[in-house]
Amino acid sequence: MFTRLMLALLALTFAVATAFGQSTVLGILEDVPGVYAGDPNFRGVRVVFQKNGIDWQAFPSACPDQGCLETLPAQFPREVIWTIAFHGRNLGQITGRTPKEFTFYSHVGLQEIKGSDPVPTVGKRSPEYGGFADGVVYRPLVANSRPFIKDPESWEPAQLSAEFVRLLRQEFRRVYPKLCKTSKNDETKLEPFLYRDEEVRVVKAYASKRGWAIAELHLEGAIDCGDLEAGSEIDDKWFTVDPQKSVQNLGEGMLLVDAGDYDNDGKSELVFSIARYNRGGYELFYDDFKKHATFEFQYH
């Protein structure tokens, strides 16, 4: 019985390793804040997506209890040699190894970095990508199990035309037909927010050479009217505009990490980090934004 069990486990391990070896796996090189006060940051690679046929799929990320954290690592690749990319450039390679168990809910998918070689870094630590934990961290970088890093669509920061901004504000109002703000007379109550289009501000925008654009929109003081706890503003909203000037809602509470053709199919994928209340993780958009995959975890 013991021998049969060991053979079955070996076969399963081989099958998992073969599957991971044959598919493209994406990770994110992170600067992870210490869990407890006074703990230093540490670097790790979070395994988030893999290519399965024509689609991208997220690795499992939702753990309801400690038992899940102990068994979930078996569903992740044991070790990966990662190519680190930023803006179409190869920043070097590192090796990540999955631990025997994930210690915290916010560490799901997080691999330890092996070896003593310098870990690639871009810029200085800042709160921009600190997320729900309010950390001061280096920006995340895409890690690929394959050497595919180029961005054939050439996504770059952009100044959008007046027409694109008008279309984005129009879609923002369609998505949010009714918004509220904190009452001036009573901060525990809400009142209708009759905002002007000009108050909806484009925070960040990017455009590709194929005529696509994405933009992050912000409306100061805007609150969901269904939020009974006055004071919780809506997260910034992201939209995309295609070359035919059709606008699509991508989601909220996100930050663009990078764009690249990570599966070498000739078209770029876009990776966003998630920064929502008690939530972290990543969103991957592909196939001209018709499809996306979500890797999302909770902090507690």
What are the tens digits of pLDDT across the range 61-92? 989 999 999 999 999 999 999 999 999 999 99
| pLDDT (0 to 100) of residue 298 | 92
What confidence tier does 228 reach under pLDDT thresholds 50, 70, 90?
Answer: low
Please report which confidence band the pLDDT of residue 230 belongs to, taking 50, 70 and 90 as the band edges: low
pLDDT of residue 206: 98
pLDDT at 254 over 60: yes
- Cα–Cα distance list, 177 to 133, 148, 215, 243 (Å): 31, 42, 19, 26
Rounded-to-integer distance, Cα 54 and Cα 72, Å: 25
pLDDT at 84: 98
**Which among 236, 234, 240 has a CA at the least distance from the CA of 205?**
240
State the Cα–Cα distance between residues 243 and 231, nearest whole angstrom: 38
Q: What share of the chain is helix, strand, coil (3-state, %, to 5)?
A: 20, 40, 45
Per-residue burial over 192-224, b if 16 or more Cβ lie within 10 Å, else e, is ebebeeeebebeebbbbeeebbbbbbbbeebbe
What average pLDDT does the chain have?
91
Q: What is the mean pLDDT of residues 12-36?
A: 71
pLDDT score, position 96: 98
pLDDT exceeds cutoff 80 at 8: no
* DSSP-derived 3-state class of residue 235: coil
Provide the percentage of residues in the chain whose pLDDT is more than 70.
91
In this structure, are residues 88 and 153 in contact, taking their beta carbons and an 8 Å threshold? no
pLDDT of 20 over the 70 cut = no
Helices (H) and strands (E) in the chain, counts: 3, 18
pLDDT at 18: 39
- Predicted pLDDT at 232: 83
Answer whether residue 136 shows pLDDT above 70.
Answer: yes
**In the chain, domain spans:** 2-148, 156-252
Q: Cβ distance 97 to 111 under 8 Å?
A: yes
> Which residues of 67-172 form beta strands (DSSP E)?
79-86, 89-97, 110-114, 141-144, 156-157
Cα distances from 211 to residues 62, 180, 205, in angstroms, run: 36, 35, 13
- Measured CA to CA, the distance from residue 219 to residue 61 in angstroms comes to 31
pLDDT in tens, 92-113: 999 999 999 999 999 999 999 9
Determine how many CB atoms are found less than 10 A away from the CB of residue 90.
14
Residue 168: how many CB atoms within 10 A of its CB? Answer: 26
Nearest to 129 by CA among 207, 28, 219, 51: 28
Q: Residue 190 has which token pair?
A: 């809400």
pLDDT-derived band at 19 (thresholds 50, 70, 90) equals very low
The mean pLDDT value for 183-187 works out to 89
Place of tokens 């395994």: 47
Q: pTM here?
A: 0.90
